[in-house]
């Protein structure tokens, strides 16, 4: 398996109800007011992860890490937003939040013991995620008020009269099997992306021997499987406005996320707020890239392409003399863009747009997972079933590949996305006498938008910034027109 190949699978989140408290919260609580009255500035935890990539014991609290101008990124938040924040209900901790599984309890204790003094800073609550590269724990941040928290946009914009409710963090314990370069890359990119409401901010990170943990704010979210079938058009607009705001921010930094999928977009269905997380596979555009056929002008490309035989014999060549092609294929099955499957060596941020399109198709078709291939060849076939042979041949040729198939169900023309969605939602019987189904204006716009996300040519595919201006993401179902104040989504 090439080094750059990483395949992930969807994993359901585990919940472990029942209480398990250590009761240290009250003992260790500090308030900002108390700190200020002692005349000590709150130290920064956000200035540089390198400085904060502390071996835990080395931490200083003199605030000297703070970069100039830090915190100003949030200062232009509109006044309405502030009021909205004020009204937001704080999350309440419930007894069900605590683990019952003895193995999880043991894991939490073991993890806590890794870092000296950990329990003075955090009160571990439960394990909330287990991915391919990490375990994620929820904890209460006991020393929140001791530090500069300018990353905390909600708190900065909240006018509080009563006491501050507890602050929660997600502690991402990156598996020691991850290469140091990969860990450094994730932390570095998170640090570079700070300052956007829709991208998870990195609070700090620390290391003990080979164990690295990233401390992120905890975001309340609802499992995608619980709500994706019941989303209204307005809900969809809110979801994708939030997701594309995050993508716009990430792509403006010329960063490719590479793993856009529902479990990496923590969406609070009730508050209509989403945050993009998991930059474990992310990379800067252009890293390890080399010239692909798709970067040539169409005419030049034609000249360079090998002649395609008119009558292909079915099967694989016995002795394939073609040189092996290497390209980054990291990502999750079912969400990979066609250019990733065709091993394009000059992949761009547009691969994330395709994956976001797969989420929209999932919601519109009410089927999850929508694509369910076991490998990349199957994945190409799944895409070809929708788009047809002709367009897939062109798509392959764009990256210097040849596509053909003898599978009889794959036609030359494929199907429209509208047809696919109607079939998937049982709104057509497929007979000639069908009364044509009239799609709502919202659905029509969603399908037009989806077509733009699913352009097989990445250069023509819609960008995140264009997407935010698309009529679908400006639509308000109730007034049947553009949402006048665009209040459903979240600005970058
Ligand atoms: N800041 C956060 N707030 C709340 N939950 C979080 C947060 N970060 C991560 N999680 C939970 O932990 C899960 C795994 O986190 P993440 O995706 O960062 O790790 P991963 O090891 O790369 O996972 P995977 O391989 O499944 O993509 C998320 O799907 C989410 O449920
Ligand atoms: Mg993940």
Return the percentage of the chain with pLDDT > 70, whole number: 74
* pLDDT, position 242: 97
- State the ligand closest to the CA atom of 203: 1
* pLDDT, position 434: 64
pLDDT above 90 for 220? yes
* pLDDT, position 489: 43
Top CATH class, 224-486: mainly alpha
**Minimal CA–CA distance to 249: which of 202, 289, 205, 190?**
190
Is the CB of residue 277 below 6 angstroms from any atom belonging to ligand 1? yes
* Chain segment 403-426, per-residue pLDDT in tens: 989 899 999 999 999 999 999 999
pLDDT above 80 for 41? no
Looking at beta carbons, which pairs linking 375-381 to residues 24 or more positions away fall under 8 Å? 376/329, 376/336, 376/341, 379/333, 379/334, 379/336, 379/341, 380/338, 380/341, 380/342, 381/405, 381/407, 381/410
> Which of 12, 125, 127, 131 has most ligand 1 atoms within 8 Å of CB, for mutation?
131
Annotated active-site residue in 65, 145, 148, 259: 259
- For residues 460-473, average pLDDT: 98
**Model confidence band, residue 128 (pLDDT cutoffs 50, 70, 90):** very high
- State the ligand closest to the CA atom of 331: 1
Name every residue whose Cβ is closer than 8 Å to that of residue 190 and which is 6 or more positions away in sequence.
Answer: 49, 200, 201, 202, 214, 279
When mean pLDDT is compared across 29-33, 166-170, 237-241, the lowest value belongs to 29-33
Cα 314 to ligand 1 centroid, rounded to whole Å: 43
* pLDDT, position 430: 59
Instruction: Tell me the pLDDT of the chain averaged across its residues.
Output: 80
**Model confidence band, residue 71 (pLDDT cutoffs 50, 70, 90):** very low
Domains of the chain, residue spans? 6-30+42-217, 224-486
**Minimal CA–CA distance to 56: which of 171, 209, 202?**
209
Give catalytic status of residue 259 as yes or no: yes
Q: What distances in angstroms separate CA 422 from CA 245, 308, 432, 447, one per listed residue?
A: 29, 36, 15, 11
Atom 2, ligand 1: residue with shortest CA distance = 218
* pLDDT, position 299: 72
Contact (Cβ atoms closer than 8 angstroms) between residue 134 and residue 174: yes
Is the CB of residue 276 below 6 angstroms from any atom belonging to ligand 1? no
* pLDDT, position 79: 36
* Chain segment 346-402, per-residue pLDDT in tens: 999 999 999 999 999 999 999 999 999 999 999 999 999 999 999 999 999 999 888
Return the percentage of the chain with pLDDT > 90, whole number: 57
Length of the chain: 492
Is the CB of residue 275 below 6 angstroms from any atom belonging to ligand 1? no
CA dihedral 135, 126, 273, 251 (to 10 degrees): -20
- State the ligand closest to the CA atom of 171: 1
Cα 133 to ligand 1 centroid, rounded to whole Å: 9
* pLDDT, position 410: 95
Lookup: tokens for 99: 């683990």
Cα 489 to ligand 2 centroid, rounded to whole Å: 23
Taking the CA of residue 280 as reference, the ligand 1 atom at the shortest distance is 22
pLDDT above 50 for 100? yes
pLDDT above 90 for 317? no
Is the CB of residue 449 below 6 angstroms from any atom belonging to ligand 1? no
Cα–Cα distance for residue pair 253/257, rounded to 1 Å: 11
* pLDDT, position 311: 63
Atom 27, ligand 1: residue with shortest CA distance = 131
pLDDT above 50 for 264? yes
Taking the CA of residue 218 as reference, the ligand 1 atom at the shortest distance is 3
Q: 395 vs 96, which has greater pLDDT?
A: 395
- 341 Ramachandran zone, left/alpha/beta (phi>0; psi -120 to 50): alpha
* pLDDT, position 310: 62
- List the CATH code of the domain at 6-30+42-217: 3.30.200.20
pLDDT above 70 for 21? no
Cα–Cα distance for residue pair 62/42, rounded to 1 Å: 8
Is the CB of residue 66 below 6 angstroms from any atom belonging to ligand 1? no
Cα–Cα distance for residue pair 174/135, rounded to 1 Å: 7
Atom 9, ligand 1: residue with shortest CA distance = 136
**Model confidence band, residue 259 (pLDDT cutoffs 50, 70, 90):** very high
- Interhelix angle 350-365/417-424, rounded to 10 degrees, is 40
Which residue bears the tokens 């390198």?
A: 50
């Amino acid at each position: 398996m090439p080094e750059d190949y990483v395949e992930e699978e969807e994993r359901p989140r585990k919940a472990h109800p029942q209480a398990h408290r250590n009761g240290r919260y009250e003992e260790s609580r500090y308030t900002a007011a108390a700190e200020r009255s002692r005349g000590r500035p709150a130290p920064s935890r956000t200035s540089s992860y390198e400085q904060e990539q502390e071996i835990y014991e080395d931490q200083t609290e003199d605030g000297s890490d703070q970069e100039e101008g830090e915190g100003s990124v949030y200062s232009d938040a509109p006044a309405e937003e502030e009021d909205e924040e004020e009204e937001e209900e704080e999350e309440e901790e419930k007894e069900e939040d605590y683990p019952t599984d003895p193995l999880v309890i043991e894991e939490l204790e073991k993890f806590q013991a890794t870092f000296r003094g950990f329990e003075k800073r955090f009160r571990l609550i439960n394990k909330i995620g287990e991915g391919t590269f990490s375990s994620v724990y929820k904890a209460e941040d006991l020393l929140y008020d001791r530090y500069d928290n300018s990353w905390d946009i909600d708190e900065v914009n909240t006018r509080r009269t009563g006491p501050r409710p507890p602050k929660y963090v997600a502690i991402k314990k990156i598996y020691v099997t991850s290469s140091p370069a990969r860990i450094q890359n994730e932390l570095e990119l998170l640090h570079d992306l700070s300052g956007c409401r829709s991208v998870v901010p990195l609070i700090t990170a620390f290391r003990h021997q080979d164990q690295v943990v990233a401390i992120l704010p905890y975001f309340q979210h609802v499992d995608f499987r619980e709500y994706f079938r019941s989303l209204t058009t307005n809900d969809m607009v809110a979801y994708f406005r939030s997701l594309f705001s995050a993508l716009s921010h990430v792509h403006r930094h010329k960063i490719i996320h590479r793993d856009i999928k529902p479990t990496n977009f923590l969406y609070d269905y009730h508050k209509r707020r989403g945050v993009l997380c998991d930059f474990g596979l992310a990379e800067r555009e252009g890293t390890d890239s080399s010239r692909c056929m798709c970067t040539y002008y169409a005419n030049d490309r034609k000249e360079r392409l090998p002649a395609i035989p008119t009558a292909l014999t079915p099967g694989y060549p016995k002795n394939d003399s073609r040189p092996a092609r290497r390209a980054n294929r990291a990502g999750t099955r079912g969400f990979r863009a066609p250019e990733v499957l065709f091993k394009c060596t000059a992949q761009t941020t547009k691969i994330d747009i395709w994956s976001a399109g797969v989420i929209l198709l999932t919601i519109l078709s009410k089927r999850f997972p929508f694509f369910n291939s076991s490998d990349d060849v199957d994945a190409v076939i799944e895409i070809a079933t929708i788009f047809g042979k002709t367009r897939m041949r062109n798509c392959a040729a764009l990256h210097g590949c040849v596509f053909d198939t003898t599978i009889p169900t794959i036609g030359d023309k494929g199907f429209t996305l509208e047809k696919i969605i109607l079939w998937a939602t049982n709104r057509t019987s497929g007979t000639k006498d069908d009364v044509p189904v009239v799609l709502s204006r919202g659905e029509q716009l969603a399908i037009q938008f989806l077509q733009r996300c699913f352009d097989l040519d990445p250069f023509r595919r819609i960008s995140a910034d264009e997407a935010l201006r698309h009529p679908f993401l400006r639509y308000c179902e109730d007034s049947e027109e553009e949402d006048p104040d665009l209040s459903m989504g979240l600005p970058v």
